A and B are shown apart, each in its own frame.
Chain A
Amino acid sequence: MITNKKPRSSDTDSNYMRDDRTEMSEDDDRSPPSDSIANGSCPTRTCTPGSGSGSGSGSSSIPEYSAPYPDRVLENVLENVLWFLTSRKDRNAASLVCRSWYRVEAMTRSDLFIGNCYAVSPERATSRFTRVRSVTLKGKPRFADFNLMPPNWGAHFAPWVSATAKAYPWLEKIHLKRMSVTDDDLALLAESFSGFKELVLVCCDGFGTSGLAAVASKCRQLKVLDLIESEVSDDEVDWIMCFPDTETCLESLIFDCVECLVDFDALERLVVRSPSLKKLRLNRFVSIGQLYRLMVRAPQLTHLGTGSFSPSEDVAQGELELDYVSAFAACKSLVCLSGFREIVPDCLPAIYPICANLTSLNFSYANISAEQLKPIISNCHKLQTFWVLDSICDEGLQAVATTCKELRELRVFPFDPREDIEGPVSEVGLQAISEGCRKLQSILYFCQRMTNAAVIAMSKNCPDLVVFRLCIMGRQRPDHVTGEPMDEGFGAIVMNCKKLTRLAVSGLLTDTAFAYIGKYGKIVRTLSVAFAGDSDMGLKYVLEGCPRLQKLEIRDSPFGDTALLSGLHHYYNMRFLWMSACRLSHQGCQQIAQALPHLVVEVIKHEDTVHTDDYADTLYMYRSLAGRRHDVPKFVSIL
């Protein structure tokens, strides 16, 4: 008895989709196939009489038997059922069923996820979804992290905080990624949401310690304050002191990216009066002696960021004599360890007691050698996530491969990110990992040299790979043993890793590599390309071959207008396309803009390039219900 009628086509976009409400970094939305939006025809059967959904469906005759349930009861039932629907994929599908379901779904959605803050206006989002308790917003595209986007491009939190302040006074959670947030925004947030519980800011900027102070002092129900890789300016306000003097609800306090001193005594007192605290990640201004004091106060911690992990300069001797081993041993629930910002390797043995329990270890700021790593890693049998610097060399990676059989995620960062140096890790380390860590799902690997053979080996040894990001730092480096392009290696990855959804390529790559990706990368959602390919064919293969492609970021590759035009059928299904320093002309971009009215096509100029009128510096385009944005800076033109 349900009309299969399309609601207003535009609102059904996967702008609102998200699988897992806690997962910020993974891209996992899936758009409905493009023809479902265009296709208006559907069989019509009336819904219950009296409901508005019957209008226009054609048949207005009274059915032979009267509908057993009045509209309101149906909606109540639906409401009760739909509350259980948490996955945004499912919710989106539900909202497409008919007007009634659309309405009820909109009323029952509590987690609002906006993958691109410019894809929809805050007003539109808040008027459709009326009972939201948690908002997730993502702003700038990822390449902005690498200075490829001029500052002040946009992604302002301000219009969102004011719209949600009015629409959702009961709002509890805000998660932002790559947004520009000001102190005023944070002050408004703190004022407007009395029951506010959770603030997570990832890769955000524009605010300082005074904004944090506002949140700390006014959000009395605050459970989570997580600042991750964000830039926080030092306004010389001690925000830690601004937490209320009473017992707090804090469960998670992450501030390892905050580059300013906090008053340690205030921090210690805060920890003492936060009995629910489970996650604490300190910044590098906390010395190891201070860490000790906090650990003895909070042995219930599950996640610990150790701060500098070195003695402070003045009290060095005293600090070195503390019984760190006991302090760590007392933290029986500790499963996730990070920090080590200024590590003094002599202090490392302190963590031996808890190695066996660790599921996550982040050494990516610790310049340690293989020898220093081995005693630690040989005990980390349960380790699933490991981030490390390449200072451990291939030998260190071999040690990881020997012990960490449960490893799911590995990230190897370069200590010295230059292009033309020897480099301590290579295909040897990658091969070792592939042989030892068969359950690997996600890898990010920076190196100076690589071989196809090692990449092929990984494709075969690690069939569960979902994320494969290899960064050969020298641009266009071939296989250093055979001298050949890296096509075969990446080809093997897309061919053999059937679960692969995220891929970043590097090294010398011809169009062949992209042919492989287009042919085998059927579920690839995110693709990152730099200094690769020979011709337009490369991009064409990908645009024509990868139906699930959502996010495509390309820099410095010879793809031009022809290639760009070959993706017209697909751009509405994507969250965004980024192409910088390619061969796109303004006319080419203009053509896209004209062909696809719901696409916002931004051409971004960079100050330090010489402007020839022929090529667009950067193209950033994304589907949007909101049309051209109103906060466009001078260096952006929207076609």
Chain B
Amino acid sequence: MEFDRDLNLEATELRLGLPGTVTEQSEKQKPNSNATKSNKRSLPDMNGESEVRRENSSASSNDKKSHGQETAPPIKTQVVGWPPIRSYRKNSLQAKKLEAEAAGLFVKVSMDGAPYLRKIDLKVYKGYPELLEVLEEMFKFKVGEYSEREGYNGSEHVPTYEDKDGDWMLVGDVPWEMFINSCKRLRIMKESEARGLGCAV
């Protein structure tokens, strides 16, 4: 069946709660939870959430059919044929989305003095703090406080990147979106070499 190829987004979704907890949003949106619908042929749930939800929603007149099915209308579990988009269209657009998502934005990261380079996917990070944290972890160094005027103060290493024009820039100067679209590679410079980059405005 077509839907088997659809991503089981639920299984790969990042959440803060423990598996099995129902999010607030789903509670709010179901004022009439008594009006239960049988959601037949839902995808097999990989982390067992459907089981928990069934226990949580007691008002179910579909108990006979509850095995393997949702009783409280679930937000996350996908249902066959819903939304009603023809497979051809779904597959065409799915392919595009996957391409866009899978492509990622892999850039090489080098650190002065390190014997080999690393590669990271910039698309995975939501912003500079996260990126810097990862780099620090990866290369075992610490960046100082970033400020627009002075760059990274008080650290032995400074994160820089080469942009589309071939210029070496300080990480953090431009908005994140612009950064990930223009960054071609990263280089963690020694502070002594970086002098001069941070002051230029």
Q: Which residues of A contact B (CB under 8 A)?
A: 143, 145-148, 203, 229, 231, 257, 284, 341-342, 364-365, 367, 389, 413-420, 446, 471, 473-478, 483, 485, 508, 510, 530-531, 533-534, 555-558, 580-581, 606, 608-610, 612, 614-615, 617
Q: Please state if B80 and A231 are interface contacts (CB–CB under 8 Å).
A: no
Q: Report how many A-B pairs have Cβ atoms within 8 Å.
A: 123
Q: Which residue in chain A gives the minimum CB-CB distance to B32?
A: A508
Given the contacts A508-B32, A615-B65, A475 and B82 also touching, CB distance less than 8 Å: yes
Q: Please state if A476 and B37 are interface contacts (CB–CB under 8 Å).
A: yes
Residues in A neighbouring B86, C-beta threshold 8 A: 145-146, 203, 229
Of A231, A284, A415, A614, the residue contacting B93 (CB under 8 A) is: A415
Q: Which residues of B contact A (CB under 8 A)?
A: 1-3, 9, 25, 29-32, 35-41, 61, 64-65, 67-68, 73, 75-76, 78-90, 92-93, 96-97
Of B35, B65, B75, B96, the residue contacting A534 (CB under 8 A) is: B35
Residues in A neighbouring B93, C-beta threshold 8 A: 365, 367, 389, 415-417
Residues in B neighbouring A478, C-beta threshold 8 A: 29, 31
Residues in B neighbouring A342, C-beta threshold 8 A: 96
**Complex CA–CA separation, A18 to B40 (angstroms):** 36
Q: Please state if B88 and A257 are interface contacts (CB–CB under 8 Å).
A: yes
Of A145, A148, A415, A531, the residue contacting B37 (CB under 8 A) is: A531
Of A367, A419, A477, A510, the residue contacting B96 (CB under 8 A) is: A367
Q: Which residue in chain B gives the minimum CB-CB distance to A509?
A: B35
Q: Please state if B92 and A341 are interface contacts (CB–CB under 8 Å).
A: yes
Residues in A neighbouring B35, C-beta threshold 8 A: 476, 510, 533-534, 558
A/B interface sample: 24 pairs, CB < 8 A? A145-B84, A146-B85, A147-B3, A147-B87, A148-B81, A414-B85, A418-B78, A419-B75, A473-B83, A476-B29, A476-B32, A476-B35, A485-B32, A508-B32, A510-B35, A533-B35, A534-B35, A556-B38, A556-B79, A557-B37, A581-B41, A609-B41, A610-B67, A612-B64
**Complex CA–CA separation, A420 to B76 (angstroms):** 7
Residues in A neighbouring B39, C-beta threshold 8 A: 556, 581
Q: Please state if B37 and A231 are interface contacts (CB–CB under 8 Å).
A: no
- Known A146-B81, A342-B96, A558-B36; 16 more pairs at CB < 8 Å: A146-B82, A146-B84, A147-B87, A257-B88, A365-B93, A416-B93, A416-B97, A474-B29, A475-B82, A478-B31, A534-B32, A555-B81, A581-B37, A609-B41, A610-B65, A617-B40
Given the contacts A556-B39, A557-B37, A610-B65, A413 and B85 also touching, CB distance less than 8 Å: yes
Q: Please state if B40 and A606 are interface contacts (CB–CB under 8 Å).
A: yes
Residues in A neighbouring B79, C-beta threshold 8 A: 475, 556
Q: Which residue in chain A gives the minimum CB-CB distance to B89?
A: A413
Of B32, B75, B76, B84, the residue contacting A530 (CB under 8 A) is: B84
Residues in B neighbouring A615, C-beta threshold 8 A: 64-65
Q: Please state if A477 and B29 are interface contacts (CB–CB under 8 Å).
A: yes
Of A147, A417, A476, the residue contacting B30 (CB under 8 A) is: A476
Residues in A neighbouring B75, C-beta threshold 8 A: 419-420, 474
Q: Please state if A148 and B31 are interface contacts (CB–CB under 8 Å).
A: no
**Complex CA–CA separation, A203 to B90 (angstroms):** 14
